[in-house]
Amino acid sequence: MKNFKKNIRKLSKEELQDFFLSNRISSYKGTQVYKWLWEKGVVDFDEMTNLSLSQRSLLKKEFIINHALINNKKLSNDGTSKYSVKLYDGLIIESVLIPTTRRVTACISSQVGCSLDCIFCATSILKRMRNLNSDEIYDQILLMNHESLISYKRPISNIVFMGMGEPLMNYNNLIKSIEKISSDKGLNISQKRIVVSTSGIPKMIKKLADENLKVNLALSLHSAIEETRNKIMPFSTKFSLKDIKDSLNYWYSKTKRKITFEYIVWKGINDNTKDIDSLVSYCKSIPSKVNIIEYNSIGDEDFKSANDTIIEEYKRALEKNKITVTVRRSRGKDIDAACGQLANK
């Protein structure tokens, strides 16, 4: 029978220490290996230079380091970079770097494909092939940080889980990766600079609220009218807007951090007065702010951006009711790197 080696990054620091002790080696070597894996991000045992040759040989005999690598890169005219990232089993995900004068944001994937079926999103066409392990999520961020230092001469400052997949459908790996990202034994990126974006799974939103993390939460809303939302996001028939509202109010009660609603306005879908009034009413029931984001076409003729007049009407109505609203223009559209366009093209 074939003897499969274990992925060493699945071991905790304590398990690594126990491994060395079981081989009559100081447990401190386990601490050193943990630092190599998570603080320095090495993917080759031979780079662990404070281990003896025999200790490195022992690790090679028992373990492998499954890791991701950059398969391809595309550069947008606006400076945005999209990366095709190859996983250890050959599957591909996409990550994006978005630079501004003040920050570099890494847009990170949580699944290969997506568990959900939003019909305006290219990623949903892929369907979910599998969840990413926590070390694969961490790998993306390591790779993006390295690329940011090369391309923009500065490290990433912000992380948004807005790439491929529904983060809350890969909950355990999401939490593990956030803990490692923000740990001083990892990348030491403040949780306040991390945004988890969800399409709205009430049970998991409440669970996230109970984690006592300091991450921010964004929700892809797109309509505050049940019937309309169910048409464009069919999975949402299982999760009513009332249940989502209750979970978001629970989030705020636990974290005291406002929710950001992501909202696209389409011609003939959610571009009338009823849609505007419904959004205002929904926002008033939850401590929140709104990002009106540009629609990025995936070739479906049923979805076309509403005209600027309607966008302005939304903005005026929200501001009139003292709801913070920002109209955001897409980055990376020319390389299919914008919101809703990630589909391994």
Distance CA 128, CA 41 (A): 27
Let me know if 94 is a catalytic residue: yes
Distance CA 102, CA 106 (A): 14
- 265 and 181 belong to one structural domain: yes
- 60 and 203 belong to one structural domain: no
Q: Do the domain assignments include residue 19?
A: yes
Domain hosting 315: range is 69-335
- 267 and 328 belong to one structural domain: yes
**CATH code for position 248:** 3.20.20.70
**Tokens found for residue 344:** 């391994």
- 33 and 175 belong to one structural domain: no
Distance CA 182, CA 99 (A): 21
- 58 and 92 belong to one structural domain: no
**CATH code for position 15:** 1.10.150.530
DSSP labels for 253-291?
A: HHH--PEEEEE--BTTTS-SHHHHHHHHHHHHTSSEEEE
- 185 and 166 belong to one structural domain: yes
Residue 161: what pLDDT?
A: 96
Q: Do the domain assignments include residue 265?
A: yes
Residue 279: what pLDDT?
A: 98
- 58 and 79 belong to one structural domain: no
Q: Do the domain assignments include residue 1?
A: no
- Catalytic residue among 39, 94, 121, 226, which? 94
Q: Do the domain assignments include residue 126?
A: yes
Residue 68: what pLDDT?
A: 93
**pLDDT under 50: residue ranges of the chain:** 1, 338, 340-343
- 90 and 131 belong to one structural domain: yes
- 190 and 228 belong to one structural domain: yes
- 200 and 55 belong to one structural domain: no
Nearest to 107 by CA among 165, 150, 66, 152: 165
Q: Are strands 158-161 and 104-107 parallel, antiparallel or unpaired?
A: parallel
Q: Do the domain assignments include residue 3?
A: no
- Catalytic residue among 107, 121, 283, 339, which? 339
What element of type H or E holds 158? strand 158-161
Residue 330: what pLDDT?
A: 67
Q: How many domains does one find in the chain?
A: 2
Contact 38, 186 (CB under 8 A): yes
Distance CA 127, CA 207 (A): 25
- 60 and 75 belong to one structural domain: no
Q: Do the domain assignments include residue 12?
A: yes
Let me know if 339 is a catalytic residue: yes
| pTM of the entire predicted model | 0.90
Q: Do the domain assignments include residue 341?
A: no
